[in-house]
Amino acid sequence: MLLEIEGLNSHYGRIHALKSASLTVREGELVALVGANGAGKTTLLRTLSGVHPASSGRITFDGCDITRMKASRRVAEGVVQVPEGRQLFGPQSVEDNLRLGAYRRGSGKPDDDINRLYEMFPVLKVKRDQPAGTLSGGQQQIVALGRALMAKPRLLLLDEPSMGLAPLLVAEIFDAVQRLKREGTTILLVEQNAHAALAIADRGYVIETGEIVLSDSGAALLSNERVRQAYLGL
């Protein structure tokens, strides 16, 4: 098992944001975590990446307890997050933003990796010298994905990649996520768009008010009556 989260609790002051959350991700899997706004999805990713501290519980990555490990160490170990809102450096070029992703890694040739990204996402090559802030929302999300890939992730954490995007751009982003999965990237995908996330996921979890309440294959959750009524509007 690449990732095991066991009984994870996290607080914001007196607010109990994560309540004994447990989930697993196997190497090569695409696992979706879905739930309503404020359910605890982003808190789980922030706690997993080390940006927010765990109150209790255990996070094991490739057999190593990383619960108290600094965020920068987790990146070096291969746990890399694409944050909600993309957080690009708008005035900097697309290529400069991509190269920033390689800052914390210890080895490899960034030029070779940049060229591989351009092969995977041709739009990045076309826009390479353009300020990232002038790109469309969908293109900016592709840049954010590319920047994360430059860090050589063993586990890619995607936080609401479709947020604020038009339906056509949402389809483009999920196509890109599927492409990454086919390339062998292990992905934990957090999404409010439950239908789109579960449709491409090997397995999924549903979180409500900080608690994991359901888990199953993506296909099974899509057909689950509780999920259909609460998250799919069916």
Whether 59 contacts 65, CB under 8 Å = yes
- Measured CA to CA, the distance from residue 145 to residue 175 in angstroms comes to 12
- Residue 180 within any structural domain of the chain: yes
* Structural domain of 183: 3-87+152-231
What tens digit of pLDDT does each residue of 146-164 get?
999 898 899 999 999 888 8
- Measured CA to CA, the distance from residue 186 to residue 65 in angstroms comes to 19
Enter the DSSP assignment of 207. E
- Residue 37 within any structural domain of the chain: yes
Global pTM value: 0.90
Please report, for the domain that includes residue 60, its CATH number: 3.40.50.300
What SS3 class is residue 109?
coil
- Residue 95 within any structural domain of the chain: no
What tens digit of pLDDT does each residue of 107-128 get?
567 788 899 899 888 999 999 9
Give the amino acid at 11.
H
What tens digit of pLDDT does each residue of 13-60 get?
999 999 999 999 999 999 999 999 999 999 999 999 999 999 999 999
Return the ∠ at Cα 32 (arms to 170 and 85), rounded to 5°: 50
- Residue 44 within any structural domain of the chain: yes
What is the domain count for the chain? 1
Token representation of residue 149: 């890939």
